[in-house]
Amino acid sequence: MEIILKKDVEHLGYANDVVKVKEGYARNFLLPRGLAVSATESEKKQLAETMKQRSHKEAKIKAEAEKIAAGLTDKTLKIGAKAGENGKIFGSVNTIQIADAIRALGFEVDRKNIKLKGDAIKALGKYEAEVVFHRDVIKTIPFEVVEE
């Protein structure tokens, strides 16, 4: 079944993408939650017109996302955490703390757009996170967990 996504759906696609999914997934999950609509001919025509009008705005948003990504290129984030004797920290570092560190540098990033590489971070050291600024602008940002 073909559907048009209204919102970004992880592991499926971004808003305004036309994707094929199984009928049960569309009927029971995507359509009732308002994440997608059926891809009928009239919906496809409406989508084409909307995309034509948005192309200029989309280029502007992408350029802004690239500017933010370029601003974070040479920076290494430092995230403070309370640590024990062997370098293990109490709790773990999560995307909220990384988003706050990026915000402290003057850039705005939603924590939902940050994905940690590997397992949970429970020790001091250097790590990397993948940040999605735009669907076409994905950047790996290094960060360091230091003792407070």
Question: Residues for the chain: how many in total?
Answer: 148
Q: How far apart are CA 132 and CA 113, in angstroms?
A: 5
Please report, in tens digits, the pLDDT of each residue of the chain (148 residues total).
999 999 989 899 988 899 999 999 999 999 999 999 999 999 999 999 988 888 878 888 888 888 888 888 778 789 988 888 888 898 888 899 999 988 888 888 888 889 988 788 888 989 999 988 888 888 988 899 998 8
* CB contact set of 146 (below 8 Å; sequence gap of 6+): 78, 79, 80, 81, 124
Which domains are seen in the chain, by residue range? 2-60 (3.40.5.10), 70-147 (3.10.430.100)
N-terminal to C-terminal alpha carbon distance within the chain = 53
Question: What pTM value is reported for the model?
Answer: 0.67
Q: Helical H runs in 31-106?
A: 41-71, 95-104
